[in-house]
Amino acid sequence: MEFSTQSTTDLAKIQTQALSVGVFKNQELSDAAQQIDQASNGAIRAVLEAEFKADAKTHLVLRHLDGVAAQRIVLIGLGEKAKYNAKAHAAAESVFASYCKSASITEAVSTLASIDVAQNTVADRARAAAQAVGYANYAYDATLSKKNEDKSIEKFAVWSAPTLTAETQTGLTHGKAIADGVNFTRLLADLPPNVCTPTYLAQAAKKLGEEFDSLKVEILERKQIEALKMGSFLSVAKGSEEPPVFIIIKHSPAQASDEAPLVLVGKGLTFDAGGISLKPAANMDEMKYDMGGAASVLGAMRAVAELNLNREIIGVIASCENMPSGKANKPGDVVTSMAGKTIEILNTDAEGRLVLCDALTYVERFNPAAVINIATLTGACIVALGDINSGLFSNNDALAEQVKEASQQTNDGVWQLPITDEYQAKLKSNFADIANIGSPGAGSITAACFLARFTEKYPWAHLDVAGTAWNSGANKGATGRPVPVLVQYLINQCAE
- Residue 148 above 90 pLDDT? no
pTM across the whole model: 0.97
Tell me, what's the pLDDT at 22?
98
What is the DSSP pairing of strand 19-24 with strand 215-220? unpaired
Q: Do domains 2-160 and 180-495 have the same CATH topology?
A: no
Cα–Cα dist 241/273, whole Å = 13
- Residue 495 above 80 pLDDT? no
**Mean pLDDT, the chain, integer:** 97
Residue 265: what are its φ and ψ, rounded to 5°?
-125, 130
- Mean pLDDT over 196-225 rounds to 98
Cα–Cα dist 277/351, whole Å = 10
- Mean pLDDT over 397-423 rounds to 96
pLDDT (tens digit per residue) in 184-205? 999 999 999 999 999 999 999 9
- Residue 419 above 60 pLDDT? yes
CA distances from 366 to 248, 249, 399, 425, 457 (A): 11, 13, 18, 30, 11
Which sequence spans correspond to the domains of the chain? Answer: 2-160, 180-495
Read off the pLDDT band of 150 (50, 70, 90).
confident
Read off the pLDDT band of 257 (50, 70, 90).
confident
Tell me, what's the pLDDT at 119?
87
pLDDT (tens digit per residue) in 454-466? 999 999 999 999 9
Angle at 276 between CA 325 and CA 380, to 5 degrees: 140
Enzyme catalytic residues: 279, 353
Choice among 41-50, 398-407, 428-437 with the minimum mean pLDDT: 41-50
pLDDT (tens digit per residue) in 2-35? 999 998 889 999 999 999 999 999 899 999 999 9
- pLDDT above 70: percentage of residues in the chain: 100
CATH architecture of 180-495: 3-Layer(aba) Sandwich (3.40)
Tell me, what's the pLDDT at 496?
53
In CATH, the number for domain 2-160 is 3.40.220.10
- Residue 149 above 90 pLDDT? no
Tell me, what's the pLDDT at 222?
98
pLDDT (tens digit per residue) in 469-490? 999 999 999 999 999 999 999 9
pLDDT (tens digit per residue) in 340-379? 999 999 999 999 999 999 999 999 999 999 999 999 999 9
SS3 track for the chain: CEEEEECCCCHHHCCCCCEEEEEECCCEECHHHHHHHHHCCCHHHHHHHHCCCCCCCCEEEEECCCCCCCCEEEEEECCCHHHCCHHHHHHHHHHHHHHHHHCCCCEEEECHHHCCECCECHHHHHHHHHHHHHHHHCCCCCCCCCCCCCCCCCEEEEECCHHHHHHHHHHHHHHHHHHHHHHHHHHHHHCCCCCCCHHHHHHHHHHHHHHCCCEEEEEECHHHHHHCCCHHHHHHHCCCCCCCEEEEEEECCCCCCCCCCEEEEEEEEEEECCCCCCCCCCCHHHHHHHHHHHHHHHHHHHHHHHHCCCCCEEEEEEEEEECCCCCCCCCCCEEECCCCCEEECCCCCCCHHHHHHHHHHHHHHHCCCEEEEEECCCHHHHHHHCCCCEEEEECCHHHHHHHHHHHHHHCCCEEECCCCHHHHHHHCCCCCCEECCCCCCCHHHHHHHHHHCCCCCCCEEEEECCCCCEECHHHCEECCCCHHHHHHHHHHHHHC
Is the previous residue joined to 418 through a cis bond, with omega within 30 degrees of 0?
Answer: no
Read off the pLDDT band of 1 (50, 70, 90).
confident
